[in-house]
Structure 1
Amino acid sequence: MTCAVYTALVIFGFLLGKETKVGNVGMAITQVMLLLRSVQYGMRNWTNLDNQMISVERILEYSELKQEIDDGGNFPPEPWPSEGNIELQSVSMRYSPDNPMVLQNVSFKVRGGEKVGIVGRTGAGKTSLISTLFRLFDFNGTIAIDGVDIKSIPLKTLRSKISIVPQDPVLFLGTLRKNLDPFNKFTDLQIWNALEDVGLKEVVADLPLGLKYEISESGSNFSVGQKQLLCLVRTMLRKAKIVVLDEATANVDLKTDKVIQSAIRRRFRGCTVLTIAHRLSTIMDSDRILVMNNGRVREFDQARKFMEYSDGFPCNFVN
């Protein structure tokens, strides 16, 4: 297109007897168009470089992160926890010295094997409560599991004894089996049985190579519901005495929600289950419901007791 325009201008200039002047104009236009093309190419490369540098910045930030303080030297006797009792005494927490308290003198007890639903508005302290259980942040007060202060035991020991199904399911590059059993502790039969419990056995059996099927980055070759069920299978295989469901059904449809709830009732019988939920239907079959408000315990009672509130409580404390 550029050459055609230049040629036309040259011919036009020749016919007018001014080929030198018009030829220079044509050359200028051609060079301007080439310059614009170069600028576009340079801007595109600069944008790509800027995006790639974000990855470099993240790596540098991770390399400069301070290592967690792990001063616990008490190794509780196995099997621990054997019952799954949880007791919080005057627990307070803030994310940094400059921020306000997100938990304020929280105290309650959860009996071993009890199913507890946790509700509250955004910022009420639901997720912060779970963060203290995993010791992700420093906190004041005491949290004991089966009578053992969690501050007195190593972080690796503590976190290996508690399973969590997060709101956003996480799958890694690698085979499906590696995702479900990262440390190769379980047999294929155990994995297939767990998949059958959540209704994924036929889905996985139809995949090329079955358990050896390669998962794409972030699990993009599975739906959100399937990824959540796979995370649940991972938790079921660990057979932890304490299980945390952090709004695990928030991004799935009602059918998948029912499958998850049914699997929890079957496979986590005898386990202590803490469920953060935004749907009341998810937690109404819990033994007790904990209502958080502004970092404090607003109410902690049997689920049937909440049916008696005329103002819809705790419905008005659910997002």
Structure 2
Amino acid sequence: MTLVMQLFLYLSAYHAGKKLHWSMLNSVLHAPMSFFDTTPLGRILNRFAKDIDLVDSALPTSFASSLNTMISVIATVIILIYGSYFAIIALLPLAVLFIFIQRVYVASSRQLRRLDSTTRSPVYSNFGETIQGLSTIRLEIIANVLTLATSLFAVLMRDKLSAGTVGLIITYAMQITHSLNWLVRMASDIETNIVSVERVNEYSQLESEAPWEKPDVKPPPHWPTQGGIQFIDLSTRYRGGLDLVLKNITIDVQPGEKIGIIGRTGSGKSSLCITLLRIIERTQGKIIIDNIDITDIGLHDVRSKITIIPQDAVIFAGTLRFNMDPFGTYSDEEIWNVLELAHLKRRTFTVENGLHYQLTEGGENLSAGEKQLLCLARALLRKSKIFVLDEATAAIDMETDRLIQQTMRSAFKNASFNNCTSITYDIG
């Protein structure tokens, strides 16, 4: 029976923890950029690490142990009452006192856990241990009073009780000390660890960015076919209450145009880029791509049609082929063609291992220039109608800068790319 009960508890906890983790992960991944601007990375990691660990490991153990101990306490009380019904006179007031102390302790320990989860300060940990010790001392006193009362009743009723019954009653009265201590500890652990569920649930209900897809409003399958972009009276800010970073911007980028946007630091160049990708939403105005207002369609439909090459190259742990084509959409021949276009086909790592060359996390086994050229090749592989280069050559050497510009010029002469629209920020 105990095995079945524990199996049920652990399976229930497993499914509950899995559901909570997925709900929080989905909520964080779809949170607006303003959330990441105002929330430290350590706080987010703390929810996914410490709080999820408590939900997965500590809570199931506390529930199972608390249930077992409660059954043991109930059985002990029944035996005490069966041996001497006068024991109920001592049990009732002591039970009231026990519940009072337990509630006071749990309330304080729950607040301490909430503070500890927020600050991770050793001061709160030490204070929590001190409070826990005080509750143990008080419960020892209650249990000793119960043992004394049971012994007195046994003496008063010695004519009606056998020696064996008296021994049984006193033994169980002494045993209840440990059970009560453990029951309070497990009950308080449940109460304090529930704070982690509360914190996880808080991140599961974050404000979400715009819908990922709108099934009832879908662009044509091959949209955009031309790549024309219109910024009409566009104003935007990073979040409510802040000043506008773009104000009344109007730009008409014709299909196939290659334009550069130049300005000092903080002038709003990158803000225009992330507004185009709807990482931040416009405050007023419109962005129209091939006669479709991008705010009328889902985020995926917008972002999947725009290729961006950022300043900081993003490389994943895995093979060269996986980094070029993670979804297995393109043939090896197509990948080799863009690698040659990006001047990577004859690099040492491709000559020796081909597309099976293993890249480390962040591309640590590549130079900064090679990483940027790899990102360029990956972007060219998609053959998007709209290319955005956001200071793609700002952190690389002059030779790689030359190769990137040569690659872009060669690509735009190719029939596959000469009709695409390119927006470049601060490229020399």
Scaled by the length of structure 2, what TM-score is found? 0.50
Contact 2:350 2:357 in 1 (8 A): no
Q: Which residue in the other structure is 2:208 paired with?
A: 67
Gaps of 5+ in 1: 1-51, 283-319
For residues 210 and 201 of structure 1, the distance between their equivalents in structure 2, rounded to whole angstroms, comes to: 9
Q: Show the counterpart of 2:294.
A: 150
What's 2:269 paired with?
126
**Shift in alpha-carbon separation, 1:55–1:221, aligned structure 2, 3 A:** farther
Partner of residue 191 from structure 1, selected from 332, 335, 340:
335
Residue 350 of structure 2: aligned partner: 205
Q: What is the alpha-carbon distance in structure 1 between the residues aligned to residue 47 and residue 344 of structure 2?
A: 36
Q: Alignment partner for residue 216 of structure 1, among 360, 363, 381?
A: 360
Q: 1:122 to 1:136 in 2, by over 3 A?
A: same
Residue type of the alignment partner of 2:227 = G
Letter in 2 for 1:274: I
Rounded to whole Å, the distance in 1 between the matches of 2:364 and 2:43 is: 22
Q: Report if the CA contact (8 A) 2:277-2:303 is conserved.
A: yes
Aligned partners of 1:113 and 1:151: how far apart in 2? 23
Shift of 1:154: 1.2
Aligned to 2:422, which of 261, 266, 273?
A: 273
- What is the CA–CA distance in structure 1 between the aligned matches of 2:385 and 2:402, rounded to whole Å? 22
- 2:404 aligns to what? 260
Amino acid at match of 2:350: A
The CA distance in 2 between the partners of 1:201 and 1:243, in whole Å, is 22
Counterpart contact for 2:308–2:389, Cα < 8 Å: yes
Distance 2:370 2:354 in 1: 15
Residue 97 in structure 1 maps to residue 86 in structure 2: no
Rg larger in structure: 2
Larger helix fraction of residues: 2
Structure 2 CA distance for partners of 1:82 and 1:53, relative to 1, 3 Å: closer
Residue-pair matches, total: 227
SS in 1 for 2:401: helix
Following superposition of structure 1 onto structure 2, how do residues 280-299 of structure 1 map, counting pairs within 5 Å? Answer: 282=428
Question: What is the deviation of 1:55?
Answer: 7.5
The match for 2:308 among 140, 143, 164 is 164
**CA-to-partner distance for each residue in 1:17-73, whole Å, 9 max, x for gaps?**
xxxxxxxxxxxxxxxxxxxxxxxxxxxxxxxxxxx9778327479955533222744
Match of 1:80 in 2: 223
Q: Deviation per CA, 1:155-197: give whole Å up to 9, x if none.
A: 1111111000000000011111111101111111111111111
* In structure 2, distance between residues paired with 1:223 and 1:106: 38
- Structure 2 segments unaligned to the other structure (5+ residues): 1-40, 50-198, 413-417
1:233 aligns with 2:222: no
Q: Whose strand proportion is higher, 1 or 2?
A: 1
For residues 131-165 of structure 1, give each alpha carbon's deviation from its aligned partner in whole angstroms, at most 9, with x where no partner exists: 11111112121100011100111111111110000
Percent identity, aligned pairs only? 45
AA partner of residue 271 (structure 1): C
Residue aligned with 2:280, SS: coil
Deviations 1:237-273 (A, max 9, x none): 0000000000001111222112111211222322100
User: Counterpart of 2:147?
Assistant: none
1:191 aligned counterpart, secondary structure:
helix
The 3 A distance-change label for structure 1 pair 103 and 177 is same
Q: Which amino acid aligns with 2:280?
A: F
For residue 210 of structure 1, report the CA deviation from its aligned partner: 2.0
C-alpha separation between the residues in 2 aligned to 1:54 and 1:152?
A: 34
Q: Equivalents in 2 of 1:58, 1:171: separation in Å? A: 26
Aligned position for 2:159: none
For residues 205-247 of structure 1, give each alpha carbon's deviation from its aligned partner in whole angstroms, at most 9, with x where no partner exists.
Answer: 334x321121111110000000000000110000000000000
Query: Aligned letter for 1:273?
Result: S
Paired letter, 1:68: E
Please point out which of 305, 317, 320 is paired with 1:176: 320
Distance 1:113 1:83 in 2: 7
Structure of higher RCO (CA pairs closer than 8 Å, 6+ residues apart): 1
Instruction: State the alpha-carbon separation in 1 of the partners of residues 238 and 287 from structure 2.
Output: 18
